[in-house]
Structure 1
């Protein structure tokens, strides 16, 4: 516990309206793969609805790997297998490892009212991961 900090763990798509505009920071870790591409704009709008004006949405992502690279082939192959599974078994949740890639997600963040700052994540020299700090524009229309 941290004094003055309220931790809330929830599915952003089902957060009670009473929590609207209550948070200075929303962090997402490991959840983007469960948000389908058609759901992405609504997901970002839901995050924005939780933040106070000027609040921040923080997450780590990276670029989509090149098509002919080993990581790109592995991720696309895994996604193809999961897409078949999703159609055959209708699982409770989906998984897509190529969601919310940077910079592809930038226009959706902008449309949801965020100003974006990106910082390279220097864990290894070879990494292409980035920390995205998306701050809600103070003049956001809350209608």
Structure 2
């Protein structure tokens, strides 16, 4: 799963026993050589689905990490792109690769923007927020968007109980909950806390008009439905 340039098991263990912020600061120099970086296939499928809805002006990558989301924002946004994350280490890696982007360190539950962006995206970040924290995140993104602005992020369909991924993700979440029971500060990262319909309801409560678009390029479930969809949340105006 890891390239030779990726972290060792010891480094991953140290990260897992740290806080979320400290853990990503430690992992940052090798993050792009791990399977945790959003795959190019997901980014390309997202860009393809968003292309007919653009072009957009200024773009925002929420929980940007080392900047993978630029692969989506670059071709769609004709103005300044901004990435926001709370890990100084991840931002340092992103800034080194793309000094032309505005990299901002902030807690995304308290985004420091108001009506600035036409498009906001996020990749692989929702698992870092407990369900009770998502309303603050969504309200901040809503506030950061211009009237008519769009917030988009991919979301995987639930794995069937017969899938090995179902049991792998369940085991990971149980291990993380056990870790957070006995150690502080917690490391919040859960894969099974992101059901589609509650998230759509939370986005609607934040003031968005919500919908989804399938991402068929990422595969289909045995019943024919897409393995992944793109959540589309539009600010009124």
TM-score bracket, normalised by the shorter chain, equals 0.7 to 0.9
Q: 1:93 aligns with which of 164, 187, 192?
A: 187
Q: Which has the higher contact order (CA 8 A, sep 6+)?
A: 1
Q: Which residue of 2 aligns with 1:134?
A: 233
Q: Higher helix proportion, which one?
A: 2
Moved over 6 A (4+): none
Instruction: Give secondary structure in 2 for the equivalent of 1:7.
Output: strand
The question of whether the paired residues in 2 share the 8 Å contact of 1:114 and 1:136 is answered with yes
Q: 1:8 aligns with which of 71, 77, 83?
A: 83
Deviations 1:106-132 (A, max 9, x none): 111111111123111122433510011
Deviations 1:85-106 (A, max 9, x none): 1121224531011233323311
Instruction: Give secondary structure in 1 for the equivalent of 2:230.
Output: strand
Q: Which residue of 2 aligns with 1:21?
A: 115
Q: Which moved more, 1:78-87 or 1:113-122?
A: 113-122
Task: Give the TM-score taking structure 2 as reference length.
Answer: 0.52
The question of whether the paired residues in 2 share the 8 Å contact of 1:12 and 1:43 is answered with yes
The count of corresponding residues between Structure 1 and Structure 2 is: 136
Q: How does 1:58-137 map to 2 (within 5 A)?
A: 58-67=152-161, 69-91=163-185, 93-126=187-220, 127-137=226-236
2:151 maps to 1:53: no
Q: 2:126 aligns with which of 10, 13, 32?
A: 32
* Structure 2 gap ranges (5+): 1-73, 86-106, 221-225
Greater C-alpha radius of gyration: 2
The question of whether the paired residues in 2 share the 8 Å contact of 1:48 and 1:136 is answered with yes
- Structure 2 distance, partners of 1:67, 1:41, is 29
Instruction: Give secondary structure in 2 for the equivalent of 1:81.
Output: helix
1:73 CA displacement:
2.2
CA RMSD of aligned residues (A): 2.1
1:41 CA displacement:
1.4
Distance 1:124 1:47, change over 3 A: closer
Task: Give the TM-score taking structure 1 as reference length.
Answer: 0.81
